[in-house]
Amino acid sequence: MAINETMAKTKENFNKTFLHLQEEYKKLQIGRASPALVEGLMVDMYGVLQPMKAVANISVPDAKTLSIQPWDRNALVAIEKAISNSGLGLNPVNNGLAVILNMPPLTEERRTDVVKRAKGLAEEARIGIRTERQEAQNAFKRMKADKEITEDEFFGAEDDLQKNADAMNKQIEELVKAKEKDIMTI
């Protein structure tokens, strides 16, 4: 039945939106070293943009330090440049073998900015959920207009859709609260 297919596709897209939000949260700089912070940065190697994780080994020697050791030492300058241009606010140190990133302690002002960014990312996810819900509602309306489904099936499908959207929004809200608490904890 077309309702089930539409609902399954919509749930899958809801989950993709939620997973994307989780990935974006991993990239937030909250004063602790995390490879996720830099592994997606694009590095210009030999005229080709490649993700950092494809050109270097990223390790965490301690909680406040990231070590990025390229497979090819000629990449050190390109890695430094990618980090400097990333807008992360980190200062790369090239020791000839690796690029070292020391995570600066977060000030109260910086923590507040990161929380605002986290909330902004959550709002983008909620917008994605609303967009997916609207697309599914439009599909249900088309099915009803084409007499593929009855009015009862239409209202049942809309009700299920709203319940799924509400459940996903609740998960997003819980994730935001947990991330905010994580960011504001010194």
Helix or strand (DSSP H, E) at 35: none
Provide the pLDDT for residue 34: 78
Distance CA 137, CA 139 (A): 5
CA angle 38-41-47, nearest 5°?
Answer: 140
Per-residue pLDDT of the chain (186 residues; tens, 9 = 90+): 588 899 999 999 999 999 999 888 877 766 677 788 888 888 988 888 889 888 999 888 888 888 989 988 888 889 988 888 887 777 888 888 888 988 877 788 878 888 888 899 999 999 999 999 999 999 999 999 998 888 899 999 999 999 999 999 999 999 999 888 888 876
Question: Where does 2-26+107-184 sit in CATH, by number?
Answer: 1.10.132.20
Q: Show me where the domains of the chain are located.
A: 2-26+107-184, 35-102
Give the sheet arrangement for strand 65-70, strand by strand.
56-62, 65-70, 99-102, 92-94
pLDDT recorded at residue 186: 63
Dist CA 90 CA 84 (whole Å)? 7
Tell me: domain 35-102, CATH 3.30.1360.40, correct? Answer: yes
Residue 29: its pLDDT value, please? Answer: 66
pTM score above 0.85? no
Pairing of strands 65-70, 99-102: antiparallel
